[in-house]
Amino acid sequence: MKEVVISGSGLWKPEFTITNEELVSSYNAWAETHNAENAAAIESGAITAKPFSSAEFVEKASGIKSRYAYRKEGILDISRMRPKIDRRSDDEISHQGEMALNAAKIAIEAAGKTAADIDLVIVSWAYTERAYPAIAIEVQGALGIKGTGFDMLVACSAATFALQRAYDAIAAGSAKAVLVINPELTSPQINYKDRDSHFIFGDVSTAMVLESADTATSSQQFQIVGTKSQTVFSNNIRSNFGYVSHAEDVDPFMAENLFHQNGRSVFKEVCPMAAEHLSEQIQQVGLEVGDIRRWWLHQANLNMNQLITRRLLGKDTTQDEAPTVLDTFANTASAGSIIAFCQHHKDLKKGDLGVICSFGAGYSIGSLVLKKVS
Ligand SMILES: CC(C)(COP(=O)(O)OP(=O)(O)OC[C@H]1O[C@@H](n2cnc3c(N)ncnc32)[C@H](O)[C@@H]1OP(=O)(O)O)[C@@H](O)C(=O)NCCC(=O)NCCS
């Protein structure tokens, strides 16, 4: 088995941001209009009034202050309540293809590689803008990479699961170097008319280059010491949009086809699962939780991360030990733990250990134990 390292990482952020205050003020204006227009039905009890959102609640319940948006136009417009994204022709690069390329170029440069060095491209995410051709193959073509590309959908664990597939391929000798990209365009799947979830997500794109330790030359290399993945079926986080809606005689964009969750249950069920998963994973590679210098955790909710690390370590963690990026990025589906890695790895010393861990819909949990080797 070959030793495998992460030799480069890349983070691309869209140019637009939306603060909690902007989002809440637009939602509240929409709710007020909706309630006024439906006053009689609300009065008769036929429908319930839309409740108001609050920026203070959002920050306290989630740790989120702001988020990036691929396109801001349309999101805050109460007559639209969704982003306005231009339709591209078959001859143009797709939106997620463009986001993927932006992050991929940064990661390839950080790894000191060229397209000729890479022979597998995996694009993984919570949402894909089309079924085929694979965005990974589009990106492979745009970068001039020879070999194979495929897409993977594993909701919030898409990035860690793809990194594990990359690790397996290199360790087994079926790939030399793998580009894993997570162009998380979450905003079109958000129900901006739902108070409980309108604030949760943001758009971003991340990428990593993995290769055999024999070929790696970059200044920042992290050996993959171990990987672990786990799935348990749950209906508590769902996004039902899909091609079958075309045949179901329903509105394909109705609320139940957009993101929705039973947030309290997710919180209660996923936190202990993630803590147990991490504890087992660390033991399996012959380490103890106290050996871990940095926790690059999934970024869904600050309180969730604090609960998980408290269960694991028996104490509260600092920003240095378990960095959070939720305040500026919000929940970026599978990219969250990779953003945390991208922004917080250069200060680690040779020999330091860290864990990347994601958890989310499915349920799915994925983790990688890393050791800084240069
Ligand atoms: C979604 C989440 C942030 C909500 O936090 P919470 O503390 O569980 O909040 P609840 O949904 O129980 O709501 C608490 C109260 O605030 C209210 N509330 C909910 N959203 C609100 C908003 N935007 N503004 C103001 N109040 C709000 C609720 O109605 C509820 O009121 P009640 O006590 O009178 O019933 C939290 O459950 C969570 O993070 N869950 C899972 C993690 C996640 O986001 N996963 C995404 C996929 S990985």
For residue 263, report the distance from its CA to the centre of ligand 1, in Å. 6
Report the predicted TM-score, pTM, of the whole model to 2 decimal places: 0.97
Query: 63: Cβ below 6 Å to ligand 1?
Result: no
Could you tell me the mean pLDDT of each successive run of 10 residues in the chain, 374 residues long?
95 98 98 98 97 98 98 98 98 98 98 98 98 98 98 98 98 97 98 98 98 98 98 97 93 94 96 98 97 98 96 96 98 98 98 98 98 96
Amino acid 67: pLDDT: 98
Query: 156: Cβ below 6 Å to ligand 1?
Result: yes
Distance from the Cα of residue 219 to its chain's centroid: 26
What does the alpha-carbon distance between residue 340 and residue 356 come to, in Å, rounded to a whole number?
Answer: 9
At 232-253, the pLDDT tens digits run 999 999 999 999 999 999 999 9
Amino acid 309: pLDDT: 97
Query: 269: Cβ below 6 Å to ligand 1?
Result: no
- 358: three-class secondary structure by DSSP: strand
Amino acid 58: pLDDT: 98
Place of tokens 């694979």: 134
Across the chain, mean pLDDT equals 97
Amino acid 126: pLDDT: 98
Place of tokens 């793998």: 178
For residue 293, report the distance from its CA to the centre of ligand 1, in Å. 31
Tokens (6 digits) for 193: 């008319």
